[in-house]
């Protein structure tokens, strides 16, 4: 069904701009800009690895893996995210780091907090941008931000509150533990032991999101140099928010339609926006390829 859903935005984009022509226009980005954007993407991954390590410590890891190891695991996760569903990479990341904390359930809880920190940082940057510039003519933008904030807040309350509540309520803990299959896993999630790690994670998330936004802005501006940098950055925040959760396999189609529609608000031609989207997709594929090579290196080393 997700593959079928992807057809709709692909057709919508194809009726407005030639896919082949947009692919040709990717060459206009230029190698210096492409390498700069790639460096920013990898910086975002690296800062994400630092954030992951901070959160592992916050959840009781006495000796979490080194940042470089977590950076490599993040790239391996990007490789597995190419699988249908888009969450295989998170499953692999949590599995690879399970030995650092009290178990697999806690490892996945850490990754959920990791994603929430990224979401809240993105919402904070979007809110800040909306306060210092003119209102964007995007119908329903407030609803999108409100919905994302509500979902993030609900998940945050569940992830932070449930383990601590069960730790202080033995009867509730026993009842949850009695639930088939899921009960033992839920009660095994350790509560956050270092609240300060959340502040550090949010600060690092500002860096991860800012790096990702800067990479996209560099690509768009190389294809549409007349577009205002600040306006481009503002709508890029909205683009990143709308593709934060991939609805289609690999976000393909979803990302392209959002690029064409949203960047059109600030005057980016549809062909330039689509070319920038394809370049962004290529950078993501390159990061996934690095993760695949890392995985191959590990397998061959055995």
**pLDDT for 166-194, tens place per residue?**
777 778 778 777 778 777 777 777 777 78
> Given a cut of 80, is residue 244 above it in pLDDT?
no
End-to-end alpha carbon distance in the chain? 38
In sequence order, the 6+-apart residues with CB closer than 8 A to the CB of 76 are: 89, 92, 93, 96, 291, 292, 294, 295
pTM: 0.85
**Where does the pLDDT of residue 139 fall: very low under 50, low under 70, confident under 90, or very high at 90 and above?**
low
Top pLDDT among 123 and 207 is at 207
DSSP symbols for 188-241: TSPPPS-THHHHHHHHHHHHHHHHHHHHHHHHHHHH-TTS-HHHHHHHHHHHHH
* Cα separation, 259 vs 223, whole angstroms: 13
Tokens encoding 159: 């992830």
Going from N- to C-terminal start, the domains of the chain cover 2-294
The neighbour count for residue 298, using CB atoms within 10 Å, is 11
Give the pLDDT of residue 219: 94
């Amino acid at each position: 069904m997700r593959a079928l859903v992807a057809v709709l935005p692909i057709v919508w984009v194809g009726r407005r701009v030639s896919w082949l022509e947009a692919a040709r226009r990717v060459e206009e980005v230029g190698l210096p800009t492409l390498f700069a954007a790639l460096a920013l993407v990898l910086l975002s991954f690296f800062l994400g690895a630092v954030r992951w390590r901070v959160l592992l410590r916050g959840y009781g890891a006495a000796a979490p893996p080194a940042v470089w190891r977590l950076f490599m695991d993040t790239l391996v996760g990007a490789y597995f995210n190419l699988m249908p569903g888009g969450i295989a990479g998170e499953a692999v990341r949590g599995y690879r780091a399970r030995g650092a904390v009290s178990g697999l359930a806690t490892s996945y809880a850490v990754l959920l907090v990791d994603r929430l920190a990224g979401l809240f940082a993105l919402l904070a940057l979007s809110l800040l941008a909306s306060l210092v510039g003119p209102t964007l003519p995007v119908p329903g933008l407030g609803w999108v931000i409100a919905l994302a904030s509500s979902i993030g807040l609900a998940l945050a309350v569940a992830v932070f509150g449930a383990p601590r509540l069960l730790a202080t309520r033995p009867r509730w803990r026993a009842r949850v533990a009695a639930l088939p299959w899921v009960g033992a896993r839920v009660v095994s999630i350790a509560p956050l032991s270092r609240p300060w790690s959340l502040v550090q994670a949010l600060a690092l998330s500002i860096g991860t999101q800012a790096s990702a936004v800067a990479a996209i802005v560099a690509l768009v501006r190389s294809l549409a140099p007349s577009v205002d940098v600040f306006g481009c950055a503002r709508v890029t925040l909205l683009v990143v928010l709308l593709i934060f959760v991939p609805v289609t396999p690999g976000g393909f189609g979803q990302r392209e339609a959002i690029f064409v529609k949203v960047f059109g608000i600030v005057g980016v031609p549809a062909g330039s926006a689509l070319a920038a989207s394809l370049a962004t997709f290529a950078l993501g594929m390159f990061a996934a390829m690095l993760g695949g090579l890392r995985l191959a290196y590990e397998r061959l080393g055995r």
